[in-house]
Structure 1
């Protein structure tokens, strides 16, 4: 049996889907399971035994279609037709993606829809994304004659990010060059919310609060502060570094996603906005505080006690589900009013949880 998993974006969402991929692998142990994803998301599942092969495509084919993407689109259809897949599990609600799978001639398709059917699962944005994805994978396994499984509790779903020995060795060399030891530093990511398809900077907590938080973490916990993020986060990280009265180690944009994840694994704490690094941190088993504003921690906070949300609950939040339609106030109050004291409280909670589980 050959199964094609379709998950084209985004980084964090692909990590969230790893418990669902685990369900597919465990339920269909003899199947060949391939992943179709974009070039900027492909690093998420490198070294991961849940996937047999990754088919990598360029982002523009589906998300920025133009006349010059028609030929690559048709070539991809032809390529997948030759593979003769038995089924596809589509972790999207996207009309062009659904049309593409039909054109690829894959006879059995499992997907998210507005209503439950024999081959779809209702995409309820009030429920946790990992659990909804697991249910879609479970549906596919059952319909394809695979092994049955009990529906798990949310806290039993574990994200997976597999780090190779070479990646870990490279990360350790970087940390040594900066005089950092395992567990002796905190990684702060003041950026996030930007990828090739969207720019959601409304997810970002004000940078001056990150500066204040960095001082408290270093002063109260004795952890050195490391800044990280993608190349497009460099400006905000540089501003934070220049605004701090303490020395910060700014690694933002210096290393690729795989090495950055390995650095996460060695950290004693990660604090970031609701974005990809939140889920990567959970995948490598690092203690993480996720800062939530317009988005919902009930939908996106990684399961387990080593992931804690920091948020200011006001009546209008969450207001960001599939898209952000703007704030009813002049500023995004759920972010603007969230204090460093409140985030520090979440930091202390996650540190306490880590000690309990040790």
Structure 2
């Protein structure tokens, strides 16, 4: 398995943006140790294809709808089967049972993944030839690095992630940044993401608290400017937050940005601080080296916290995680009580401890 013979490797990465970024260290490690191997990453249509296509260690990217009818699943499996992969790895998290079934039905001889709950068995391994049990309290980066141990002689000790931004996106970010270069030269730009993926509104900290952090921060840093990031689906919330900040501070010191994902990443990279809910943009900010504060409530920062060299995860004292990616949860459409326990002053104190 660890020979230098050319192999065709398939990584199934069927989750969202933040999950893919946490999976990149495992993909990169395999390519670094086996540069002749052909690496294909298969993603769901969740915005992750743009990230995968921009990373130099990935040779090919397939985007497939996985919430589909039987006919579409058959088409997906036929597409994979025709590629004649030698090894398939179901990265975690990412619909582990479905991923394992895809690898099996695609005729891939070596199928690696984490065990999963199925039919009253918490550690089912059906369809896999090599299975690992997820370890409680271990970050998703390490969970996925464990999956590649059959493929690599050594596993990286430094498990921080890194996102490579193409030069084209860096140049696009410069043109986007120009309209928000205010008449007063800003000493620093603070990025904020107050949103979340669709269906995860309970991960969000209230907008008025983000605005209060901006007000308190601008008192200490009067030349700071705030940039509100988010997807097209979050445009209304972005505009509301920018208006709140500008009204709080009686000046136009906040604006919004909407761009392609990698150009957004390049724009975030120009910030000196990023404050965010647990989201894909939080991981992007940390992965491009920006000092990042991730606000955590129902999700577990030990598993999905930001892993940049200058990032921290903040949880309100006395609260505990309540969410598991492999089980169904419904926490409603309002911020979870553990998010409401976070105060603006606590966030401001965390910023102060980061010396940014």
The reply to whether TM is greater than 0.5 is yes
Other-structure match for 1:28: 34
- Higher mean alpha-carbon deviation, 184-193 vs 172-181, is at 172-181
SS at match of 1:54: strand
Report the equivalent of 1:204.
Answer: 204
Query: Tell me, which stretches of 5 or more residues in structure 2 are unaligned?
Result: 1-6, 116-122
| CA deviation after TM superposition for structure 1 residue 231, in Å | 1.3
**2:74: which partner in 1?**
74
Corresponding residue SS for 1:255 = coil
1:1-358 map, 5 Å: 1-39=7-45, 40-58=47-65, 62-63=66-67, 65-66=68-69, 70-91=70-91, 92-113=94-115, 114=123, 119-139=130-150, 141-142=151-152, 148-150=153-155, 152=157, 156-179=158-181, 184-194=188-198, 199-221=199-221, 222-244=223-245, 245=247, 246=249, 247-252=252-257, 254-315=258-319, 317-322=320-325, 323=327, 325=329, 332-352=336-356
Give the SS at the match of 2:192: strand
Check whether the contact 2:110–2:129 (CA below 8 A) recurs between aligned residues: no
Q: Is the Cα contact below 8 Å between 1:6 and 1:88 reproduced in 2?
A: yes
Asked if 2 retains the 8 angstrom alpha-carbon contact of 1:125 and 1:321, the reply is no
Q: CA deviation at 1:47?
A: 2.2
The answer to whether the 8 A contact 1:261-1:280 is kept is yes
Q: Structure 2-normalised TM-score? A: 0.85
Tell me how many residue pairs correspond in the alignment: 329
Residues of 1 paired with 2:29 and 2:100: CA distance? Answer: 22
Cα pair distance change 1:96/1:185, threshold 3 Å? same
Equivalent-residue separation in structure 2 for 1:11 and 1:129 (angstroms): 13
CA contact (8 A) 1:46 1:162 kept: no
Map Cα deviations across residues 283-332 of structure 1 (whole Å, 9 max, x no partner).
211111101111111111123541111220325x111122574669x973
- Any conservation in 2 of the 1:273–1:292 contact (CA below 8 Å)? yes
Q: How far has the Cα of 1:96 moved from its partner?
A: 2.5
1:52 Cα offset (Å): 0.7
Change (3 A) 1:176 1:26: same
Residues 41, 52 of structure 2: 8 Å contact kept: no
Summarize the Cα distance change of 1:176–1:327 in structure 2 as closer, same or farther, 3 Å threshold.
closer
Counterpart secondary structure, 2:61: strand
3-state SS of paired residue (1:130): helix
Task: Please tell me whether the aligned partners of residues 203 and 335 of structure 2 are also in contact (alpha carbons under 8 angstroms).
Answer: no
Task: Give 3-state SS (helix, strand or coil) of 1:46's partner.
Answer: helix
Q: RMSD over aligned Cα, in angstroms?
A: 2.4
- Superposed displacement of residue 270, structure 1: 0.6
Asked if the contact 1:88/1:106 (under 8 Å) is kept, the reply is yes
CA change 1:120–1:284 in 2 (3 A) is same
The alpha-carbon deviation at position 264 of structure 1 amounts to: 0.6
Question: Matched residues in 1 for 2:77 and 2:201: separation?
Answer: 35
- Name the CA distance, whole Å, in 2 between partners of 1:177 and 1:216: 25
Query: For 1:182 and 1:18, how far apart are their aligned partners in 2?
Result: 34
Aligned equivalents of 1:51, 1:183: Cα separation in 2: 37
Report the CA distance between 1:118 and its aligned residue. 6.8
Q: Kindly indicate which of the two structures has a greater share of residues assigned to helix.
A: 1
Aligned to 1:356: none
Over 3 Å counting, the alpha-carbon distance change for 1:132 and 1:149 in structure 2 is: same
